Structure 1
């Protein structure tokens, strides 16, 4: 019986949902991923809490300190880095959506990943999607690219994704993907590249790119268009900062050339929608 994983409902009402996961930490540059999932919750007409993971056994609170604030009555309130699981009702969505967001834990990664596998299993998730953001060689003047991957060859081919090739130190997301693979729960990673010369939050362009790719694959409306204006304003601010430094301006031009020469072979939205519906009817056949 899970001790730290607390269910707030007797039985989740969702059937065959898409479960999306984003955690603050190394895999969340510019807070682009957690901002994306929180936007999906904030703009939804209905959000129902399903479960939460108590932080006590997973965090070094000297590194992830809780925050104290005053409520409307002047009472002190301490906010802990709790991981939340919510059922999100997106208008017009063909499939239910379960959102997991919180902070990457410091300790007991295998146990924590096991709890998220338990959440996916109990919710009967047809697909898990992890959202992430990493600093990289991306120019701010171009749409920020999203790399999608899956360890399952059939799933990768179906959605036009790559196969993971990274070797080296990993984070909680890497442990989670391994645990989901072992549990035979389909999982996809979507990660956006954030310009390393402007790594700080907010980055509406990076968040928009993640939401747009997530919507393309799942068909779940994310309202990514609401970030068009903030993304344009962000790009203008960076343009102004870059214009005053010849070295950085020349470096950005080199990055632009690399991106422009790369091929973008993403499947069309209609193709992905048809394949996604077929996959959720018969996952891991």
Structure 2
């Protein structure tokens, strides 16, 4: 999200600014959907924009840009119009109070992942969670992996306590990888005694750097089911259908062959372990369609990474996962709108 760059003085500017409404907020649930370069398919970002764009909401807290943003890395956007600069915008990091279609309130932490002061940011979020009476947080993100876009989006679940997951949820084994801030918050909130449930959408690796609305729709459905929220999903379904149609016409033969290989692998695993899988509907906004060359290049880069990652520090893996990441629960989470 973009708002005007704050050009006020530094004196008396807190790390996080609370709006007057904060004094009456009491919400047991917080949804964490931060945008970062590691959020494959911009899954969390699309969910946040969708919720804010389709539900009643009001601003509760805003984090100081100068404290959390590296402007050399995430530069403000300047708008030039008819001979003059007319607007200056920058990414924001905020907490909104959102009401679902039945009036249930939840807090939504969204915006650009902080570049700086991760420890301070985590401490402030923990303090706000305490202040607002949050007892459970839902953390959303996308991750790239070898799945085809022609199959239902799979969701991997993780939680601060095993009891929060059903028997067949989650990946067994040990993984080690660079963290996103959303991972840090999920861990820290759990350490502080709050229940946390994370949902990670599997994104086709060749679409990792393109907005992927099907993943956002799957995340909204899973969030609706887990939290008992009445969240609209129809616009995301429509966007996903458009995306799939346009992608089908843009994919060349070489890229299609790669997708068919992924389909074969996906279907074989689903046949061998059907309990790990269940269908999800396609999951608005118009999104750019990658070209066949971009898909082919992404596939080559992904395969090259697979060949080199075995000895990379910080990407160690022990144990054997029990199956393809993710599986949707039964039920009718989300609703058309």
TM-score scaled to structure 1, two decimals? Answer: 0.83
Aligned-pair distance for 1:10?
A: 6.0
Residue from 120, 123, 126 that aligns with 1:111: 120
- Is residue 144–residue 205 contact of structure 2 (8 Å, CA) maintained in 1? yes
Cα separation, 2, equivalents of 1:88 and 1:65: 28
Q: 2:264 aligns with which of 254, 262, 266?
A: 254
Contact preservation (8 Å) 2:144, 2:208: yes
- Aligned residues of 1:6 and 1:54 also touching (Cα < 8 A): yes
* Structure 2 counterpart SS, 1:214: helix
Do the aligned residues in 2 keep the contact of 1:20 with 1:37 (CA within 8 Å)? no
Contact kept? 1:242, 1:248, Cα under 8 Å: no
1:251, 1:12 → 2: CA distance? 55
The answer to whether the Cα contact below 8 Å between 1:153 and 1:163 also exists between their aligned partners in 2 is no
What SS does structure 1 have at the residue aligned with 2:226?
helix
In the TM superposition, 1:204-215 aligns within 5 A as 204-215=213-224
Structure 1 residue 228: deviation in Å? 2.1
Aligned to 2:141: 132
Q: 1:201-224: per-residue Cα shift (whole Å, max 9, x none)?
A: 321111111111111111212211
In the TM superposition, 1:170-209 aligns within 5 A as 170-209=179-218
Which residue in the other structure is 2:108 paired with?
Answer: 99
1:269 aligns with 2:331: yes
Normalising by structure 2, what TM-score? 0.71
User: Compared with structure 1, are the counterparts of its residues 102 and 90 closer, same or farther at alpha carbon in structure 2 (3 Å cutoff)?
Assistant: same
Structure 1, unaligned runs of 5 or more: 273-285
2:245 matched residue in structure 1: 236
Match 2:39 to one of 15, 24, 28: 28
**Does residue 89 in structure 1 map to residue 99 in structure 2?**
yes
- Please tell me whether residue 156 in structure 1 is matched to residue 165 in structure 2: yes
1:241/1:28 CA distance change after superposition, 3 Å:
same
What is the SS of the residue equivalent to 1:56?
A: helix
Q: CA deviation at 1:156?
A: 2.5
* Alpha-carbon distance between aligned partners in 2 of 1:185 and 1:42, rounded to the nearest angstrom: 28
Secondary structure of the 1:92 match is coil
CA contact (8 A) 2:136 2:196 kept: yes
Report the alpha carbon displacement of residue 135 of structure 1 after superposing the two structures with TM: 1.1
Q: 4, 13, 16: which one pairs with 1:5?
A: 16
Aligned to 2:73: 63
CA–CA separation in structure 2 for the residues paired with 1:48 and 1:249: 42
| Residue among 144, 149, 166 paired with 2:175 | 166
Q: Which residue of 2 aligns with 1:43?
A: 54
Superposed CA RMSD in Å reads: 2.8
Residue 163 to residue 176, structure 1, CA distance change in 2 (3 Å): farther
Q: Which runs of 5+ in 2 are unaligned?
A: 1-11, 278-326
Which residue of 1 is the match for residue 154 of structure 2? 145
